[in-house]
Amino acid sequence: MSNSSTSKKSVLWDWLTTVDHKKIGIMYFFGGLFFFTIAGLEAMLMRIQLMFPEMSFLHEQTYNEVLTMHGTTMLFLAAMPLFFAFMNFVVPLQIGARDVAFPFINSLGFWLFLFGGLLLNLSWFTGGAPDAGWTAYAPLSTTSAGHGLDYYIMGLQVSGAGTLMSGINFLVTIVNMRAPGMSMMRMPLFTWTTFVTSMLILFAFPALTVGLLLLMMDRIFGGAFFDVAMGGNVVIYQHLFWIFGHPEVYILILPAFGIFSEVISTFAKKRLFGYSAMVFATMIIGFLGFMVWAHHMFTVGMGPIANAIFAVATMAIAVPTGIKIFNWLLTLWGGRIRFTVANLFALAFIPSFVMGGVTGVQLAMSAADYQFHDTYFVVAHFHYVIIGGSVFGIFSATFYWWPKMFGYRLSESLGRWFFWLFLIGFHLTFFVQHFLGLIGMPRRVASYLDGQGLNEMNFISSMGAFMMAFAFILLVINVFVSRKNTDDVQDPWDGRTLEWATTSPVQEYNFAQTPLVRELDAFWHEKQFGDGRMKAAEPLDDIHMPNGSILPIIITTGLTVASFGVIYSTWSIIILGLLINFGAMFVRSIKEDHGYHIPVSEIKREQGEGK
Amino acid sequence: MADQHAAANQPLPANPEKATLEGRNKYLGFWFFLGGETVLFGSLFGAYLGLRGSTEGAPGPDELFHLDLVFIMTMILLTSSLTSVFAVINLKRGHFKKLLVWMWATVALGAAFLSFEIYEFYEYYHQGLGFTVSAFASSFYTLVGTHGAHVAFGVAWITTLLIRYRKSGITLSNAPKFYTAVLYWHFIDVVWVFIFTVVYLLGVGG
């Protein structure tokens, strides 16, 4: 990393106080990877328990906790932060900005995610994790014994607040901070999907905030929202959860769509086919994402009219998604395709995700859903879209942007082993689960009986899970053994977008001079029609940079302490935490911080070194 | 620092809150934030509408609500929106003293509203509407209380700004802060208009 202006600070202090979007991106990456590993291990525990009928590897209660934490951790603490990692690192570079709009809030968002995640996982050591599924449906969640669900509520509130802030930050960054010439319709697709994803975060997360707030009121303060004896109504929670929850699954898939658009276009050496159709399809998916939440509740008893409306709206999403699939195929058509690991994941995504989409349309048929509901068919469906879509997207982005983020290339040969093992393991694990579901195996149950025809397929499924775990170990090994591949890292893939026009690793200020964007795929345009370098939109001058700050971590600590107090209904701890929280916010509010300037002489020296 | 020195010598631009990139970022970011807040209150309204009939023998809206008190509260809060508009007009004209006066008036009205609300909750509690007695009670206190917490936060926020910048004059760095605080204040006023209609008017008449 650039250490020109931070040489006086220790490395640890630098990372704790950084407001640099690239360092925050890297911290999101390792934070997400940490939780991905934990949640992956939880999945392995479940697959070991289900390897044979009537296993007693996990106690039923433990199984419920592992199942809940696997889903919650994967969605909130692994997949989303891993996407945030790439959004943070890449989006400001792609639009030619020096940083995000609110660097301080960016840092705050990261620490809130991390501390919220740690708070949630603390429940393992304090008498039991949450056990009501990742959806935490009332009244199961409101009557669950112990403090597990309280950790769920407060952990997600803390990390959700961070997510909401990050969403607003990306929105403002993309609207206000684009380089000259970078009109909205010249933005790379990953930036576009980040924009729409952030819109979804902005309008979806407050519904979760309220859902969790009401759960908290009932569990901790004796409220009666979901207590039927007091006139409560549990279906309200289901609505609130899914008004958040359905957009959430698009929050998880849209960034992956953006990544595949970048990767496929780069490795087919072709401009993305149907760019504007891709943009509008993204927006339509984002909009329809808010219109279909009740398809998760077909069997609740909303009646045939509501079910029919939500069924039709759900099927309509297949149209813009289909547009995207065909645009990717047509981008590949006639292209000079390079089968790098990043592109292999993108190519494997297309059929895998289509399979998940097809089962999605099957599930959207509300009458048929009565048969599928709460069986392994649903489990197979959402793992096909989340692994086949989001996780493939994350792995593709990892191989694609790794040289830019870390200054070395991951090994392609080891990467291919990783890819094939993971792909085969994934299909082994989840393909058979369609049939397990169709012959009646319920999801979220800790065991199954012998002689029901479930044994072989469950065993195959567990073997696939082991293959995925082994493949993941290969990825970790790859990170360590590839460290010497430091040649050709500036633009290793012959990239098309602005991030490849920067040095590797990227300077603290990203661009010495803000680039002038003349066309879609700005860098590619300069390679084809210019001299291969971005034209500057401004003269070389001192660069204004924000100061680092320790306050985000203090604000977060305060909020986490207060949340811990709420979990145990201890007012002294709540007040202590809030004092720290608001005290640090107060300091931030009254202290004017005008940042500092990097002198032009230093920029010239660093640019000279970069060549 | 450079901004402040410049501000002392040069006249401020017509819209000082949007004159810098930081200001424009704050302005736009705050609008987005209010969009999220709309969903938050929308969800709370939804929960309230679903549960407002579930009084379960405990006091219900028609027994509790007195429109005269709520009318006074509404007038106080709407007037505070007006005073904050005057503050913004003076912000744009560069009249710092008048800006402070109108913002302090806004804070005072906000505090008056809050004390009425505390009195109101106190009264309801003594008429038997504890938080836990019925689903109606829980949803009423959560919706109106969340709004009240927003008012309290707004009062604290604006007071902090007023004390921090009591002598600084209008600068390009504090203009966006005053402006976003006023945006926030208008937002919680609008939410109150909905609470007045959906909770109180529907409660008594509907």
Q: What average pLDDT does chain B have?
A: 92
Q: Are A176 and B25 in contact (CB under 8 A)?
A: yes
Which residues in B lie closer than 8 A to residue A230 (C-beta atoms)?
Answer: 54, 56, 132-135
Task: Give the residue among A581, A455, A351 at the shortest CA–CA distance from A55.
Answer: A455
Task: Tell me which H or E stretch contains A596.
Answer: strand A596-598
H-state helical runs in A222-303:
234-267, 275-288
H-state helical runs in A365-408:
366-372, 376-385, 392-406
How far A382 CA sits from the closest chain B CA (Å)?
A: 26
Distance CA A396, CA A472 (A): 13
- Indicate the residue type of A561: V
Q: Are A105 and A165 in contact (CB under 8 A)?
A: yes
The two structure tokens encoding residue A184:
């909205």
| Residue B206 predicted with pLDDT over 80 | no
Q: What is the DSSP letter of A58?
A: S
Query: CA A217 → CA A139, B39, B128, distances in Å?
Result: 13, 19, 19
Q: What is the DSSP letter of A597?
A: E
- The minimal CB distance from A223 to the residues B50, B131, B160 is found for B131
Mean pLDDT, residues A131-140:
95
Mean pLDDT, residues A233-260:
97
DSSP string, A428-471: HHHHHHHHHHHTTPBTT-S---TTSS-HHHHHHHHHHHHHHHHH
Which residues in A lie closer than 8 A to residue B53 (C-beta atoms)?
Answer: 231
| Residue B5 predicted with pLDDT over 90 | no
Going by pLDDT thresholds of 50, 70 and 90, the confidence category of residue B11 is: confident
Residue A268: what pLDDT?
97
pLDDT digits 0-9 by tens, B101-116: 999 999 999 999 999 9
Query: CA B18 → CA A287, B26, B157, distances in Å?
Result: 30, 9, 20
DSSP three-state, residue A375: strand
Q: Name the least confident of A439-443, A598-602, B202-206.
A: B202-206
Any CB–CB contact under 8 A between A95 and chain B?
no
Task: Give the residue among A188, A175, A205 at the shortest CA–CA distance from A80.
Answer: A205
User: How many C-beta atoms lie closer than 10 Å to residue A569's C-beta?
Assistant: 13
By CB neighbour count within 10 A (0-12 exposed, 13-18 middle, 19+ buried), where does B110 fall?
buried
Q: What count of Cα atoms within 13 Å lies in the side-chain half-sphere of residue A406?
A: 21
pLDDT digits 0-9 by tens, A406-415: 999 999 999 9
Instruction: For chain B, give the number of residues.
Output: 206
Q: Are B90 and B102 in contact (CB under 8 A)?
A: yes
- The minimal CB distance from A203 to the residues B36, B46, B164 is found for B36
Going by pLDDT thresholds of 50, 70 and 90, the confidence category of residue B145 is: very high
| Residue A1 predicted with pLDDT over 50 | no
By CB neighbour count within 10 A (0-12 exposed, 13-18 middle, 19+ buried), where does B198 fall?
middle
Q: Are A260 and A346 in contact (CB under 8 A)?
A: yes
- Compare all CA atoms of chain A with the CA of B1 and give the residue at the minimum distance: A594
- ipTM of model: 0.94
Distance CA A434, CA A452 (A): 16
The two structure tokens encoding residue B32:
């987005």
Any CB–CB contact under 8 A between A231 and chain B?
yes
Q: What is the DSSP letter of A268?
A: T
Residue A6: what pLDDT?
45
- The minimal CB distance from A240 to the residues B43, B137, B160 is found for B43
Place of tokens 């994803």: A197
Q: Are B67 and B202 in contact (CB under 8 A)?
A: no
Q: Are A102 and B29 in contact (CB under 8 A)?
A: yes
Mean pLDDT, residues B129-145:
96
Could you write out the three-class secondary structure of A486-537?
CCCCCCCCCCCCHHHHCCCCCCCCCCCCCEECCCCCHHHHHHHHCCCCCEEC
How far B34 CA sits from the closest chain A CA (Å)?
A: 10
Q: Name the least confident of A234-238, A318-322, B83-87, B170-174.
A: B170-174
DSSP three-state, residue A544: strand
Asked if A230 and B54 come within 8 Å (Cβ–Cβ), the reply is: yes
Residue A513: what pLDDT?
93
The two structure tokens encoding residue A368:
């048929």
DSSP three-state, residue A543: strand
Mean pLDDT, residues A142-163:
96
Distance CA B127, CA B145 (A): 18
| Residue B65 predicted with pLDDT over 60 | yes
| Residue B13 predicted with pLDDT over 90 | no
Asked if A207 and B43 come within 8 Å (Cβ–Cβ), the reply is: yes
Going by pLDDT thresholds of 50, 70 and 90, the confidence category of residue A138 is: very high
A593 vs B132, residue with greater confidence: B132
Mean pLDDT, residues A115-135:
95
Residue B9: what pLDDT?
52
Which residues in B lie closer than 8 A to residue A164 (C-beta atoms)?
Answer: 36
Residue B7: what pLDDT?
45
Asked if B51 and A233 come within 8 Å (Cβ–Cβ), the reply is: yes
Place of tokens 């694609």: A400
Task: Give the residue among A52, A31, A3, A32 at the shortest CA–CA distance from A449.
Answer: A52
- Compare all CA atoms of chain A with the CA of B162 and give the residue at the minimum distance: A590
DSSP three-state, residue B52: coil
Residue A589: what pLDDT?
85
Task: Give the residue among A350, A376, A375, A373 at the shortest CA–CA distance from A363.
Answer: A373
Residue A5: what pLDDT?
47
Q: Are A578 and A471 in contact (CB under 8 A)?
A: no
Going by pLDDT thresholds of 50, 70 and 90, the confidence category of residue B12 is: confident
Mean pLDDT, residues A380-396:
97
Task: Give the residue among A89, A114, A82, A115 at the shortest CA–CA distance from A21.
Answer: A89
pLDDT digits 0-9 by tens, A462-519: 999 999 999 999 999 999 999 999 998 999 999 999 999 998 889 999 999 999 999 9
Domains assigned to chain B: 16-52+66-205 (1.20.120.80)
Q: Name the least confident of A360-364, A381-385, A500-504.
A: A500-504
Residue B4: what pLDDT?
45
- Compare all CA atoms of chain A with the CA of B158 and give the residue at the minimum distance: A589
Residue A3: what pLDDT?
41
- The minimal CB distance from A206 to the residues B39, B56, B161 is found for B39
Residue A7: what pLDDT?
52
How far A9 CA sits from the closest chain B CA (Å)?
A: 24
Asked if A206 and B56 come within 8 Å (Cβ–Cβ), the reply is: no
Q: Are A74 and A39 in contact (CB under 8 A)?
A: yes
Mean pLDDT, residues A242-253:
96
Q: What is the DSSP letter of A271?
A: P
pLDDT digits 0-9 by tens, A267-306: 999 999 999 999 999 999 999 999 999 999 999 999 999 9
- The minimal CB distance from A225 to the residues B1, B51, B133 is found for B51
Going by pLDDT thresholds of 50, 70 and 90, the confidence category of residue B10 is: low
Q: What average pLDDT does chain A have?
A: 95
Mean pLDDT, residues A204-211:
97
Report the percentage of chain A scoring pLDDT > 70: 98
- The minimal CB distance from A168 to the residues B2, B29, B46 is found for B29
Distance CA A60, CA A251 (A): 32
Distance CA A463, CA A470 (A): 11
Any CB–CB contact under 8 A between A128 and chain B?
no
Residue A239: what pLDDT?
97
Q: Which residues contact A529 (CB under 8 A, 6 or more apart)?
A: none
Q: In terms of DSSP bridges, do strands A596-598 and A543-545 run parallel, antiparallel, or are they unpaired?
A: antiparallel
pTM of the model: 0.95
Residue B6: what pLDDT?
45
Q: Are A205 and B107 in contact (CB under 8 A)?
A: no
Distance CA A444, CA A140 (A): 14
User: How many C-beta atoms lie closer than 10 Å to residue B9's C-beta?
Assistant: 6
The two structure tokens encoding residue A230:
């007091």
Give the angle subtended at the CA of A133 by the CAs of A132 and A135, to the nearest 5°.
105
Q: How far apart are the first and last CA of chain B?
A: 57
pLDDT digits 0-9 by tens, B69-93: 999 999 999 999 999 999 999 999 9
**Chain A / chain B CB contacts < 8 angstroms:** 120
Q: Are B32 and A172 in contact (CB under 8 A)?
A: yes
Residue B14: what pLDDT?
85
The two structure tokens encoding residue A595:
């940042």
* Cα A607 versus chain centre, distance: 34
Going by pLDDT thresholds of 50, 70 and 90, the confidence category of residue B1 is: very low
Distance CA A353, CA A247 (A): 18
Residue A484: what pLDDT?
93
CATH topology of domain A11-549+593-610: Cytochrome C Oxidase; Chain A (1.20.210)
Q: Are B9 and B172 in contact (CB under 8 A)?
A: no
Mean pLDDT, residues A89-95:
97
- Indicate the residue type of A113: F
* Cα A439 versus chain centre, distance: 33
Q: Name the least confident of A334-338, A416-420, A452-456, A593-597.
A: A593-597
Cis peptide before A546 (omega within 30 of 0): no
Q: Are A494 and A158 in contact (CB under 8 A)?
A: no
Distance CA B153, CA A511 (A): 40
Any CB–CB contact under 8 A between A139 and chain B?
no
